[in-house]
A = this chain, B = another copy of it.
Amino acid sequence: MAPLSRARIVAAAIDLIEREGADAISMRRIAADLGVGVMSLYNHVPNKAALLDAVAEAVLSQISFDDDPSAEWTERVRIQARAFRQIAHGYPRSTMVVVSRQLKSPAGLFPVERALATLRDAGFDGEDAVQILRAFIAYIIGSLLREVGVTPTFAPGNLGGADLPPDVDTTLFPEVSAVATHLCAGDHEKSFEYGLDMLIRAIAVQLRESKAAGRGGARG
């Protein structure tokens, strides 16, 4: 048996989360899966919180950014956003863990660096780039939460429908009832791309305004 190591512990934790959900995770289960004693874990990880941080970092660091630096900036931010979403597909149950702990490690900073470079190349000054990036991250995280939150047990049936309780009061919620079909139809990718399109176009508009108003911020 390979010697116990931090990496093996983190891998086992991710595996367990993906198989049985984030709630099922415990030091004892992880140790059992690894075939070691519980306390052996603490020789490599200070405590459970740190282990979850390590899980978040490991998942996050698997993002692969393959956007072409010479491409149009609109396409680059689109690809970067998709890369984020991709990890949520690879590790759906871990997404909540990643999102719920904010980490200040290089793994978390790397995508930020990439995005800022893209936005500043596009012509935004520092403050606007930061604000735009924040808006993007907020949108992406919110989207991922919706995607993974809607399928807490991964029942294959609720991917297309049964999202809404069937007993919505038609008179109390006329609008909801009217668009119930679309509300229930949960094509996550389509929704994600829809909002992504919106955001990118908004940024493009802002950039034009910014340029029209001369150098400096997009305030106007």
Contacts and interface: CB of A to CB of B under 8 A. Distances in A.
A129 B39 CA distance: 53
A138 B201 CA distance: 17
Contacts of A191: 131, 134-135
Given A100-B100, A138-B143, A146-B137, A198 B194 contact: no
A2 interface: no
A81 B152 CA distance: 26
Contacts of A10: none
Interface in A75-113: 96, 99-100, 102, 104, 106, 109-110, 112-113
Interface string A188-208: 001100110011011101100
Given A117-B175, A195-B138, A165 B202 contact: no
A149 B199 CA distance: 23
A70 B65 CA distance: 46
Nearest to A184: B130
Interface residues of A, number: 58
A84 to B, nearest CB: 12
B176 A112 contact: yes
A202 B207 CA distance: 13
Given A109-B173, A173-B113, A178-B126, A194 B131 contact: yes
A12 interface: no
A11 interface: no
**Which 8 interchain pairs have the tightest Cβ spacing?**
A138-B142, A135-B195, A202-B202, A142-B142, A116-B175, A126-B179, A141-B142, A130-B182
A163 B198 CA distance: 29
A4 interface: no
B127 A138 contact: no
Nearest to A140: B142
